[in-house]
Amino acid sequence: GQNIDQPTEMTATEGAIVQINCTYQTSGFNGLFWYQQHAGEAPTFLSYNVLDGLEEKGRFSSFLSRSKGYSYLLLKELQMKDSASYLCAVRGITGRRALTFGSGTRLQVQP
């Protein structure tokens, strides 16, 4: 089975940097994903890590350590529109390509 943990809520200030952590336990690993979900909307894909290290995409970066079962999403130069839930998800080694999602971290960006 798979178990994913991430903080329920976080608050940060506009213009600052925030790091959202995710730890996972899985019987097989084939990639870790981060999604952004605004209230009432579908999740949108942010990043994918399958090897250890940092992946950078503009203001967003994602880090993975497979040996530690740990990932984080780093958001820089926070904007008010970044207020959303951030979902960590893991794909196992089965052929179905489906993801197991954490419950999400609700980020509130304040002025």
Partner 1 sequence: SQTIHQWPATLVQPVGSPLSLECTVEGTSNPNLYWYRQAAGRGLQLLFYSVGIGQISSEVPQNLSASRPQDRQFILSSKKLLLSDSGFYLCAEAVGSSHEQFFGPGTRLTVL
Give the one residue of 13, 15, 25, 45 binding partner 1; rule: CB under 8 A. 45
> Residue 4: which H helix or E strand, with range?
strand 2-5
Tokens matching residue 35: 């999604």
Nearer to partner 1, 25 or 103 (CB): 103
Does 31 bind partner 1 (CB under 8 A)? Our answer is yes
Do 12 and 109 contact (CB within 8 A), yes or no? yes
The whole-angstrom separation of Cα 30 and Cα 39 is 28
Shorter beta-carbon distance to partner 1: residue 41 or 52: 41
Per CB under 8 A, 84 contacts partner 1: no
64 near partner 1 (CB under 8 A)? no
Q: Does 1 bind partner 1 (CB under 8 A)?
A: no
**Phi/psi at 2 (5° precision):** -130, 140
- The 3 state secondary structure assigned to 75-86 is ECCCCHHHCEEE
User: Which residues of this protein are in contact with partner 1, per CB under 8 A?
Assistant: 4, 31, 33, 40-45, 48, 50, 87, 89, 91, 96-104
